[in-house]
Chain A
Amino acid sequence: MLKFVTDKDGVKRYLVSLKVNGNEYTRMVKANSLLVNFLREELDLTGTKKACEQADCGACTVLLDGKPVNSCMILTINADGREVITVEGLATNGKLDILQEKFIEHSAPQCGYCTPGILMSAKALLNRNPHPTEYEVREAIAGNLCRCTGYVNYVKAILDAAENQ
């Protein structure tokens, strides 16, 4: 049971602690706080994008305990005690993840709005299946809509990353 305080209007605010990109954060949030808004507004991690806000487009994909989720569909209180990785957490000590390197090499992003979501879906794929087939790559990012690229260079970049990780 989460600790909470009740404000003068009777609205409860819950104490949540979660690990984001390796850092512990503790905050008070309303029950209806969405993880995507928490990341963007509270933590200023605006790399995670908001678009459809109904789990259709995948722009807000993050890893929650290693699994790709639409952060617009996750309540912040449900992320309590869990670990979140966003696009900002992909690079370590200034070194880009192989996926980021390959996205650059293949000029995969165009407008770039869907890019963080695709990166996170691809990261989850390579974590669970280091040697995916092309079909498995397509399946893994099928929940990430992109209007610019036809996914062509994203698919190439992810396969290339898998081969060279």
Chain B
Amino acid sequence: MSEKHSYVGKNLQRTDVLDKVTGRGKFTADLKFSNMLYGKLIYSTHAHARILNIDTSEAEKLPGIKAIITAKDVPSIRYGLSPARYDENIFCIDTVKFYGDKIGAVCAIDEDTVYEALKLIKVEYEALPAVFTPAEAAAEGAPQIFEEYPRNLNTEIHQHFGDCDKAQEEAYYVRTDRFQGQRTIHGVIEPHCTIAYWEGKRVIVHAAHQSVHYLQHHLARILGMKEGDIRVITPYVGGGFGGKLDVSGLDISAIILSKITGQPVKMAYDLEEVWLNGRGRHGMDMEYTTGVTKEGKILFVKNEIVIDGGAYTGLGIASAYYAGALLTVLYNFDNYKFDAYRYVTNLPPCGAQRGHGQPHPRYAFESHLDHIAEDLGIDPIEIRIINARKSGDVTPNGYELKSYFLKEANELARDASGWKDKKGKMAKGRGIGVGNGGFVSGAGFCQYRTDLPHSIAMIKVYDDGSHAIVYTNAVDIGQGSDTVLRQMAAEGMGYPYDDISIVSHDTDLATLDFGAYASRQTLMAGWAVKRAGEDVKRKILEMAAEMIKVKEDGGYRSGKLMPEELDCREGIVFMKQEPAVKITFAEVARAYFVKNGLLIGRGYYHPGKLGGQHKGAAVGTSPAYSSATQVSEVTVDEETGMVKVLNTWDVHDSGVAINPNLLHGQVHGAFAMGIGETLWEKVMFDEKGKLLNGNYAEYRLPTALDMPPVHSMILDTFEPNGPYGAKEVGEGATTPTLGCVANAVYDATGARVSSLPLTPEKVWRAMKEKREREEK
């Protein structure tokens, strides 16, 4: 046991993998309950309209129909994420606000009957004028979607630090660029599904969701119930990426329909409904004005972002703040002016999606920074190194970076990719680009106001010491939290990894955790399970100190041992000075049970008070920040504008990797999502606000043929605020890609496409315009 850790840092087998390769693992849609009914939501077929009448009489006559509910049958409460923006009803009252807005729900004995019924429900509308872009929403005389958002302005942010105007006067060079980011969708393969049934006054909810606690919390508020009367269980979740974090119409309707019918009710989205209600990435118009010294040191940044929010707010309030908050984490400058305007429009609402609010701004700023570097004649990686923040920095907006190695990430990406031999020396049509990114390792504040710990864990040991179970409501949505949490629990406890199992995401069985979002499980739930493990170990060592007999003539010690003289690794308690003096964990555990009863360990984590005092200071706070640099090589076909990504080097400063294989897996997936969003993906609507491409034929996710080799590399860093030195990777890994690939395309063509995605048409036109400019 000379190694520092037994399980941390090891590529141990995924906890869920056998279930997943044999097909026996159950996702929500795979569950069946006796007497179960099937339900669907009733959707608006107008982008903005007054509901004049809903006639369900024909549908109700259909044999097999059990219940049809609309706004008149449910509480008229409004909900959302932030109390100032509770703007959504269970079902539309009076008006519908987007094509796909929910106006009711139906349940029946089988799916066929439900679809029959949906065809028979007649809704009369009076169409209202609609707005589909922030510009239309803000225009003089534009229709008002909500009374409380004058001119449809839903969120306005003004965060100003230092003195940008003064810095602008002093700057050697100032440049302004504008970029557009498109609406995208998470692209989960498992459509959302919820099953609910009642047991007396309690309701049991099985849902494909990223946070059992938040779902329980929000449902309790919406339904006027106590949290303890709602049990939320999450079976295996087929991907989240932010799309399964808002409470959905499925969750609420399944509960209400089950109450009415007295039977379990299963509700699921079809794929198109995932687009309508899944709450993907916001479209953004971004303008950056940056001033630098002659050497390329950033003096100030003015950042204005206009955001298309869609019909409701939900998590979108946080997206708006995140859009500007984290730029100061990457680069070292004191003068920052961030202004943002999130408008409501008559399109599906947007929310959180991997990298929450910042992949588009990363694309924009990383592109902008390359232009500045080019104008000054500085190498793009060099300008990033010059400006990179470092460990110990505190940003002007109040974030403290305990460990931060963006400079080193740039250096490694540069060296590993052979940047110096390639940049500016590549064949025609080929290019190389760099992009930086990173993210919070968990949000510093809960979604709602509370002083509860962010994560609590418990470990229960079997009475013969042969097995232990770690309990946590961290949610494994595929990222592998069950595995790394078992690793950290086993490490903390000094107990064999193979003998510790996990019970997670069930509010009745496991313990409070806020769930899988803001890339928080490894750090926050990690602290809780580590501490629970250490609590068990403390109890075991105290007991063992009474049990271990040391020979009087042993030469080193006599009499009773102190617990501090002992340690426990891999299920063996031993004397630190004399490891041959040992006893098994199991023996000690059994003795503990005889003397004290149940052996459990408890741990919890609270990040403490973080951040500054300005309005919105909470968003972007975190105990730890990751950083990442990516370098990619592309080819661009001059005839067609088609981009192919050839190779990528992806360097991550994620602290200590608890399970390197799983970390690299996150990087691979994040990169795939990133190139999809850079090159192909865009949610599209017709002129009436109707979704055009809610399917995987017309919304192009990257396939296996689109993926280049990914060289994922981990910097050897340690985060003091992370358990075993770990910080995040899952979300941050997406953020460098958009700017990186866009910069590589620019390098290949000399023509900047300033809106995402970089479709062949846009790239081809940009090259053509460049040629025409040069010919003049």
Contacts and interface: CB of A to CB of B under 8 A. Distances in A.
Interface of A: 40, 44-54, 56-57, 59, 86-88, 90-91, 96, 100, 103-104, 106-107, 109-116, 119, 137-139, 141-155
B162 interface: no
A51 B191 contact: yes
B189 A111 contact: yes
Nearest to B19: A112
Given A49-B27, A56-B697, A88-B23, A150 B710 contact: yes
Given A59-B189, A142-B704, A147-B186, A115 B669 contact: no
A47 B22 contact: yes
Contacts of B25: 112
B236 A112 contact: yes
17 contacts: A46-B23, A49-B190, A51-B191, A57-B189, A87-B21, A90-B22, A107-B11, A107-B14, A107-B665, A112-B16, A112-B19, A113-B188, A113-B189, A145-B703, A147-B187, A147-B189, A151-B704
Nearest to A86: B23
A126 B703 CA distance: 20
Interface stretch (B135-143, B475-483, B525-533): B475-483
Interface string B1-37: 0000000000101101111111111110110100000
A46 B26 contact: yes
Given A53-B270, A138-B705, A141-B704, A150 B22 contact: no
A139 B3 CA distance: 43
Given A112-B20, A115-B21, A155 B668 contact: no
A45 B703 CA distance: 27
Contacts of A139: 704-705
A10 to B, nearest CB: 15
A147 B668 contact: no
B696 interface: yes
Given A104-B13, A147-B186, A150-B671, 19 more contacts: A46-B26, A46-B30, A51-B271, A52-B271, A52-B695, A100-B21, A107-B11, A110-B478, A111-B478, A112-B16, A112-B19, A112-B20, A112-B21, A137-B704, A145-B189, A148-B478, A150-B670, A150-B710, A151-B703
B239 A111 contact: yes
Interface residues of B, number: 55
Contacts of A144: 704
A15 to B, nearest CB: 20
B30 A100 contact: no
A119 B710 CA distance: 22
Contact of A152 (B20, B187, B480, B710): B710
B293 to A, nearest CB: 39
B701 interface: yes
A96 B21 CA distance: 9
Interface string B457-470: 00000000000000
Interface string B253-278: 00000000000000000110000000
A113 B23 contact: no
Contacts of A151: 668, 672, 703-704, 707
A113 B190 contact: yes
A147 to B, nearest CB: 5
Given A88-B22, A146-B189, A109 B14 contact: yes
A155 B710 CA distance: 12
Contacts of A114: 189
The 8 closest A-B CB pairs, nearest first, are: A47-B23, A111-B478, A113-B238, A112-B20, A150-B672, A150-B668, A87-B23, A56-B696
B241 interface: yes
B662 interface: yes
Contacts of A104: 13-14, 17-18, 21
A56 B189 CA distance: 11
Interface in B173-205: 186-191
A117 B25 CA distance: 14
Contacts of B239: 110-111, 113, 147-148
Given A96-B21, A107-B661, A112-B25, A155 B190 contact: no
Contacts of B672: 146-147, 149-151
A82 to B, nearest CB: 20
A3 to B, nearest CB: 23
A148 B24 CA distance: 20
Nearest to A114: B189
Nearest to A99: B21
Interface string B671-691: 111000000000000000000
Nearest to B12: A107
Contact of B696 (A40, A57, A91, A107): A57
Contacts of B188: 111, 113, 147
B615 to A, nearest CB: 35
B74 to A, nearest CB: 29
A49 B237 CA distance: 12
A142 B705 contact: yes
A87 B203 CA distance: 33
A68 B587 CA distance: 53
Nearest to B23: A47
Nearest to B27: A113
Contact of A110 (B191, B480, B701): B480
A27 B67 CA distance: 30
Given A56-B696, A111-B239, A48 B478 contact: no
Q: For A112, A151, A155, which residue has the most chain B Cβ atoms within 10 angstroms?
A: A112
A112 B702 CA distance: 17
Contact of B22 (A51, A91, A148): A91
Contacts of B186: 147
A153 B189 contact: no
Given A46-B26, A148-B478, A56 B695 contact: yes
Q: For A86, A110, A143, A153, which residue has the most chain B Cβ atoms within 10 angstroms?
A: A110
Contact of B669 (A53, A91, A147): A147
A137 B13 CA distance: 24
Contacts of A88: 22-24
Q: For A50, A104, A152, which residue has the most chain B Cβ atoms within 10 angstroms?
A: A152
A48 B236 CA distance: 14
Nearest to A120: B23
Interface string B394-426: 000000000000000000000000000000000
B260 to A, nearest CB: 24
B20 A115 contact: yes
A138 B23 contact: no
Contacts of B16: 109, 112
Contacts of B190: 49, 51, 111, 113
Nearest to A116: B23
Contacts of B23: 45-48, 86-88, 116
Contacts of A91: 22
Contacts of A154: 704
B404 to A, nearest CB: 26
Q: For B20, B479, B696, which residue has the most chain A Cβ atoms within 10 angstroms?
A: B20
A48 B23 CA distance: 7
B542 to A, nearest CB: 38
Q: For A45, A57, A141, A151, which residue has the most chain B Cβ atoms within 10 angstroms?
A: A151
Interface string B575-606: 00000000000000000000000000000000
A53 B190 CA distance: 11
Contacts of B187: 145, 147
Contacts of A57: 189, 696
Given A87-B22, A88-B23, A107-B11, A147 B705 contact: no
Contacts of A87: 21-23
Contacts of A152: 664-665, 668, 707, 710
A112 B478 contact: yes
Nearest to A152: B668
Contact of B695 (A54, A146, A149): A54
Contacts of A52: 271, 695-696
